[in-house]
Amino acid sequence: MSAAPRDPADRTPTSNPVLRRALLWGGVLAAAIAIVGGVLGFAFAGVEGLVSALLGTLIAVVFMGITGASILLANRFAGSDVFVGAFFGIVLGGWLLKFILFIVLVVALRGADWLDPVVLFLSIVAGVIGSLVVDVLVVAKSRLPYASDTRLPPPPTHE
């Protein structure tokens, strides 16, 4: 069974469905981590543990989402003359945003009495490792050709 041929005028990169699937499954994983982390955080550290688990999961999801969303946004420029510059500018901007956001969060949350630092740390680690596992599984199970966005020259004509 083969995939339907792509319209030659369609310049959308074939990686977009893979990125969307990774974001979808990352969201499902985040919901699971929030539920399990929230229950365990509440059981071991009370309300502070619950809040810490939910905040840690939210941080992991936002950071994962910024990467996928920035690549999907940058792919909208595919086929234009500014694609390479726009792609790297948008993706690098996303990474810069994550770096700045991380520094702001570390400074803002340092010493917060309403957080349990161990539960926060463990939920962030679970979110990061989980998103990496999701990315690996989605990419490994995707059926993406090695040369997905190339155009072959027309076949020779025998005249």
* pLDDT tens per residue, range 51-102: 999 999 999 989 888 988 998 898 888 888 888 899 899 999 999 999 999 8
DSSP state of 80: S
Q: Categorize the per-residue pLDDT at 116 as very low, low, confident or very high, splitting at 50, 70 and 90.
A: very high
The answer to whether the predicted template modeling score (pTM) of the entire model surpasses 0.85 is no
Q: Categorize the per-residue pLDDT at 146 as very low, low, confident or very high, splitting at 50, 70 and 90.
A: low
At which residue do the structure tokens 């985040």 appear? 30
- For residue 81 the two structure tokens come to 């003359």
At which residue do the structure tokens 């994983």 appear? 29
Counting every residue written for the chain, the total comes to 159
Residue type for position 72: L
Instruction: Report whether pLDDT(46) > 50.
Output: yes
Q: Categorize the per-residue pLDDT at 145 as very low, low, confident or very high, splitting at 50, 70 and 90.
A: low
Which segment of 7-16, 39-48, 97-106, 110-119 scores lowest on mean pLDDT?
7-16
Cα-based torsion angle of the residue sequence 122, 127, 129, 131 in order, rounded to the nearest 10 degrees:
180
CB 116 within 8 A of CB 41: yes
Distance, CA of 63 to chain centre: 7
